[in-house]
Structure 1
Amino acid sequence: MTELSIRERELVGRFGLFTEMTGGQRIPGMLVGYLLICAPEEQSITEIATALNVSKASVSTVMRQLQQVRAVERVPVADSRQHYYRLTGNWIEMIRARWRFLDAGRDLAEAGMAVVADDPRRRERMRDFADFLSFLVEELGNDLTARWEAYQAKRKAEREAPR
């Protein structure tokens, strides 16, 4: 990709700030923002680092994290030995990857209840936390995927409809 324009740089920076405001770190947000606007959509670690003025080590580390939550995928590019990445575009899969953390948190809370079993008040706090995480897993898992797919199909049809 050619050098980012001032407006594109500002947009990518705002993605970083958005991620920070939601409890994450800035660079993953910047990478997602960049991958949303870059051309071609496949970018090497070197290209990303240069465009964002960050280290290749940071880009590499964050790309591994984004791969774990299925936000990006590594793709082959002919005649290149570098690693290239692009967004998967599978946003619901990203959320599903996060759900697994909810399961782990619920399991931790369940284990915590055994640790504080002799104190009803502490056990109740732990039970409330476990119940909340169970609720989230059930609510998010029930039909969120189906609702997203229906919404996405509707929006796509609206965009493609003749005017």
Structure 2
Amino acid sequence: MPELSIAERELVGRFGVFVEMSGGQRIAGMLVGYLLICKPEHQSITEMADALAISKASVSTVIRQLQQGLKVERVPVPDSRQHYYRLAGGGDWTEILRTRWKFLNAGRDVAAAGLRLVGDDPDRRERMQEFADFLDFLVEEFSPELVSRWETYRNKRTAEREAPR
């Protein structure tokens, strides 16, 4: 991909800040932002490092983390010995919902252990119960039904964009 324009650099930077604000790594956000706009959709570690003016070591480390989080996948490119990466599924965001749901369920396990630990101590139990209730609420909201509703919504929006005008 040719050098990024000022507007593209700003957008990639905003992705970095967005992900950082949600507790992730700024470079991870920058890489996801870049992979959303790059041409072609697959890029080598060298290409990503050059485009974002960051070290290849940083890109390599964060790309591995994004692969483990199922957000990025390695793809073969004919006649090339380099490894190339793109957004998993071309940018299917449902895995983010599924991952968040798993995270919240793990939090519920922690809350249950906390409730067992504090026993009947009313002061500590109330605080721990509030945490447990909050996680129960979020698990219900981030349910598999939410993923299903998102997929229905996405399919509808895709069909609208593809419909002749």
Alignment-derived partner of residue 119 in structure 2: 117
Shift of 1:118: 4.9
Spell out the pairing of 1:1-163 with structure 2 (5 A cutoff). Answer: 1-88=1-88, 89-163=91-165
Letter in structure 2 aligned against 1:85? Y
Shift of residue 116 of structure 1?
1.8
Alignment check: 8 A CA contact 2:15 2:33 kept: yes
- For the 8 Å contact 1:69–1:98, the answer to whether it is kept is no
Q: Which moved more, 1:75-84 or 1:144-153?
A: 75-84
Q: Distance in 2 between matches of 1:53 and 1:153?
A: 36
CA contact (8 A) 1:45 1:56 kept: yes
For 1:11, give the aligned amino acid: L
Judge conservation of contact 2:97–2:147 (CA < 8 Å) in 1.
no
Q: Secondary structure at the match of 1:23?
A: coil
Structure 1: how far apart are the matches of 2:102 and 2:123? 28
Paired residues, number: 163
TM-score, with structure 2 as normaliser: 0.91
Q: Percent identity?
A: 72
CA distance in 1 between partners of 2:63 and 2:131 (Å) = 31
Query: Shift in Å at residue 142 of structure 1?
Result: 4.5
TM-score, normalized by length of structure 1? 0.92
Give the unaligned 5+ runs of structure 2. Answer: none
- Take 1:80 and 1:134, find their aligned partners in 2: how far apart are those partners? 48
Shift of 1:68: 2.4
Where in structure 1 do 4 or more consecutive aligned residues deviate above 3 Å?
none
